[in-house]
Amino acid sequence: MSKEINEKIQSIIKQCESLSNDDIESLPNYKKFKIFYSKKSHKTCDIYLLCAFIFGLLAVITTSISYIGIEHVLYYSYDKIFSINIYHEECLAPKLETLIDIFRPTTSCDICQHIDHIERISNITREEFEEKYAYTNHPVIITDAMNDWLALENFNYEFFKRIYRTNSSALRGVEDNCQFFPYKNKDEFETLGDVFNMDFDRAHMIDDDYKPWYVGWSNCDYSTAYLLRQYYSRPYFLPERSESSKLDWIFMGTPGFGAHMHIDNVDLPSWQAQVRGRKQWTLRPAPECFHICKELTFIVEPGEIIILNTNVWYHKTSVVSEDEISITIGSEFD
């Protein structure tokens, strides 16, 4: 049977091969075939055109990179994307965090190549601070700037719970206008209000198997900022002409949790005061400096202030106090 079929196919092929162009055109289905054939060939042509277009585009991008340098191309894209300050565009911030990494302008490794530990200093003059640390991207810890702060005795979970009580203008202010970072607790804390509604035992780590939590928020509400500033003062070492930012940043949470490794896109360097608890920081140089700069890990103790430009150093934190939550307050400075 299969031999018969094979012979038939062979004879059809032979007949086809012997057909002239006229014979083909006179075939009953020639028109349909021709339309089908020409459509197919257009499709092939479209694919070639598309490939040529992509190739051309790649050629333009590579040529501009080789002429003006990758950092300028990336910087240009970065500038375009971030000409809106994404940290004021709350809904965009988390989604664009990855883009900050990708389009970040390259960092000069001068800022990190000679740093192998974080210095702790005290009794520094404004002039010395300005010259050595304020605008040099050189992180430092100042140990004597919170001595007279009422925050040291007064800031705790219950203090903030009272300020941000349900229906208060302070809570509404934060929920409507400021940023809130729930970090690993994002499935359970949608707003700052949820943080202050958690049960007492968890907030105060009363059970051994309590569920850890860590959050941060910016306080952009003027009357709350005024109230909080009764409990702390502007660090004495900040340059006289530097304006204090109107925003306070508060980070609070239990041991074991903290902020994931990230780099920021805010305007200025910051100070952060460790009011309560102990927090471990890991600072990582930008990837282009891995070969000459070291990653730094250190603990900020209660009563100490860390100065860090979070726009050039990747940073992550983890609360490491034994049995106490960590509370910090900080701000940007110029």
State the virtual CA torsion across 175, 260, 258, 233 in degrees, nearest 10.
-60
Binding segment (CB under 5 A) for Fe ion, from list 112-120, 174-182, 294-302, 307-315: 307-315
Identify which of residues 245 and 272 has a Cβ nearer to ligand AKG in the complex.
272
Helix or strand holding residue 70 (H, E)? helix 70-81
Which residue in 130, 221, 248, 264 binds Fe ion (CB under 5 A)?
264
Which residue in 317, 327, 329, 333 binds ligand AKG (CB under 6 A)?
317
- Contact between 328 and ligand AKG by CB under 6 A: the answer reads yes
Distance CA 276, CA 330 (A): 13
Identify which of residues 64 and 244 has a Cβ nearer to ligand AKG in the complex.
244
For 118-185, the three-class secondary structure string (H helix, E strand, C coil) is CCEECCCCHHHHHHHHHCCCCCEEECCCCCCCCHHHHCCHHHHHHHCCCCCHHHHHHHHHCCEECHHH
- Contact between 245 and ligand AKG by CB under 6 A: the answer reads no
- Contact between 317 and Fe ion by CB under 5 A: the answer reads no
List the beta strands (DSSP E) in 222-295. Answer: 248-253, 270-276, 279-284
Which residue in 173, 258, 269, 285 binds ligand AKG (CB under 6 A)?
258
| Range 265-284, binding ligand AKG (CB under 6 A) | 270, 272
- Contact between 185 and ligand AKG by CB under 6 A: the answer reads no
Picking from 313, 267, 269, 259, the residue whose alpha carbon sits closest to that of residue 86 is 267
Identify which of residues 144 and 334 has a Cβ nearer to Fe ion in the complex.
334
Identify which of residues 224 and 245 has a Cβ nearer to ligand AKG in the complex.
245
Residue in this structure with the two tokens 């400075």, named with its chain if needed: 333
Using CB under 6 A as the criterion, which residues of the chain lie in contact with ligand AKG when the complex forms? 216, 249, 251, 258-259, 264, 270, 272, 310, 315, 317, 328
